[in-house]
Amino acid sequence: MVVAAPLLRSLRRLPRRTLLAGAAGLAMLGFLAVTPAPEAPVVEHLPAQGPVTDPPLYYVRPRMRSVALTFDISWGHRTLPQVLDILRREGVRATFFLSGPWAEHHPDLVRAIVAGGHEVASHGQEHVNLSQFDAAYIRQNIERSHAILKQLSGQIPRFFRPPNGDFDDLVVRTARSLGYETVIWAVDSLDWKNPGASYMVERVRKLVFPGAIVLFHASDSSRQVHEALPAVLADLKARGYRLLTLGELYRQGEPGRVDPRGDPDYPPVREADVAPGQEPGLAPGRTPRR
């Protein structure tokens, strides 16, 4: 993963057109026997690491052992129903960051998310790195998706995850002026790399801590998330974690605004210091419905 980071950083500087041309070239070589997708799958990156004076949310210092699972969606309709099925079976609610165009194309799936008792949040309109744009564009990006999400979900989204986790002070402040808290994550499951279910389960198991915001995707580019989720949930429940929506977690304590990723003192909150949020070892599926 360390080796991949510089490559990703250099890839993100390339114009999108160049990347698409590269992908098209590979496809023509016959290595990728895939049906062209109606919307291009999106590769997520690590957030910008520049100096930030107005930081976003990475985690919460909770009163009890709890965690928020978050799923970004900007493409596809196959992965999400599988994810929703698992969450329903396990009695777990989560937060879904929806892009405006995706929601517009899949109103039935937006309704399924709401019917599952989940929280709808915003992933913006165009899936671009917002730190490259001015305030007017950022405002328009957030406002357009807000109108769509509000209308289709009946919820008023309060959390905004910028595309690719890319942000700067202007993004955070503009989002705040529109009533949004900008949310990154503390734990990236790396599901967008499709590294295999057991890798993802082990990664989340090792990195999770009380109050962590965990990143998954329910876009179709995330092809293994449904294989990893049952074991991730079983592990968290066995360790006494309650699984909350972001809104619920937010009300649990102080917002964590210092990026914990790569910090030598990781994790910022120790599991042993926080009382279990539910009876440890409660079997999956036996969580009381809320």
Distance CA 72, CA 94 (A): 11
What amino acid occupies position 280? P
Q: Which is nearer to Zn ion, 189 or 252 (CB)?
A: 189
DSSP percent split of the chain into helix, strand, coil, nearest 5: 40, 15, 45
What amino acid occupies position 226? H
Of 64-72, 195-203, 230-238, 240-248, the segment contacting Zn ion by CB under 5 A is 64-72
Among 58, 72, 98, 252, binds Zn ion (CB under 5 A): 72
Interface size with Zn ion, residues (CB under 5 A): 2
Closest separation between CB of residue 72 and Zn ion, Å? 4
> Which of 106, 123, 217, 226 is labelled catalytic?
217
Closest separation between CB of residue 42 and Zn ion, Å? 5
CB 242 within 8 A of CB 278: yes
Does residue 72 carry a catalytic annotation? yes
Q: Is 2 exposed, middle or buried (0-12, 13-18, 19+ CB in 10 A)?
A: exposed
Q: Which is nearer to Zn ion, 99 or 174 (CB)?
A: 99
In 91-241, DSSP assigns E strands to 95-98, 119-122, 159-160, 181-182, 187-188, 213-217
> Which of 72, 166, 188, 191 is labelled catalytic?
72
Q: Which is nearer to Zn ion, 79 or 252 (CB)?
A: 79
Of 67-75, 87-95, 166-174, 279-287, the segment contacting Zn ion by CB under 5 A is 67-75
Catalytic residues: 72, 217
Question: Where do contacts with Zn ion occur on this chain (CB under 5 A)?
Answer: 72, 74
